[in-house]
Amino acid sequence: MNKTKPTILVVNDDGITAPGIKVLIEQMQQLGHVVVVAPDSPQSGMGHAITIAKPLRLDKLELYPGVEMYECSGTPVDCVKLAVNQVFKGKKPDLCVSGINHGLNHSINVIYSGTMSAAVEGAIESIPSIGFSLDDFTYDADFSHCAPYVKIIAQQVLEHGLPEGTLLNVNFPQGDKIKGIKVCRQARAKWAEEFDERIDPHKRNYYWLTGVFQLKDNGEDTDVWALNNHFVSVVPVQFDMTAHHAITTLNTWKFDHVEKG
């Protein structure tokens, strides 16, 4: 590994040949030595899934000059785990960046996102980590307006680090009329999900998941507001899911009256 520049792990969930990862690689090459470990096929919506019931494969590729690249048969989280354990041999990179995802990972979407789960896994490994996403689901999305913001945010993380147990969730609006960067909180929202029921040629029922994004938050300090108003949203995320504010309440419950048989 290069000792004079920071070493940067690049991952994603859209697959190693996705256009979004190319932009991320190009920007990270300006900052350090890039190592890519990414899925060999799209893994959107995988969340923090890991592969435990079948073997994983890790194959070296040569797609971009001067970039050490590996495609992985597993999930985005598998990619990070294999990178740390097999590619870096336990020596942590200086930064882990994930994306750029085709589609937003704002608000509640952070729970389901393979892009963000890869970044979360990096943070679990004590690697400063960032997930990047763009409000465009099309395969040929234009990521060019994201590039300078990707670079400056990564530079700031390399310079300052991140608080322990914290990573960044960065989302970009469509178009090149970005007004700037807003540090935000995650908006309260959910998906109102429905399943479109259909019948296959063998007369068996099957289902396609559909849904409507329901915003339950009118705050002007949220990621949804920032994106709707043409700002890049930056949300600090933590993987400690303890609801600390609820501990005092639960300690008032009467757990000491258990009847033992």
Delimit the domains of the chain by residue range.
Answer: 7-187+219-250
Amino acid 165: pLDDT: 95
For the entire predicted model, the pTM comes to: 0.91
Query: Residue 133 corresponds to which tokens in the numbers above?
Result: 């996403």
Distances in Å between the alpha carbon of 170 and those of 136, 205, 233? 14, 39, 6
In tens, the pLDDT along 191-249 reads: 777 888 899 999 999 988 877 777 888 889 999 999 999 999 999 999 999 999 999 99
Please state which CATH number belongs to domain 7-187+219-250.
3.40.1210.10
Is the Cα dihedral 88, 157, 233, 27 positive or negative? negative
Q: Using CA atoms, how far apart are residues 249 and 51, in angstroms rounded to an integer?
A: 37
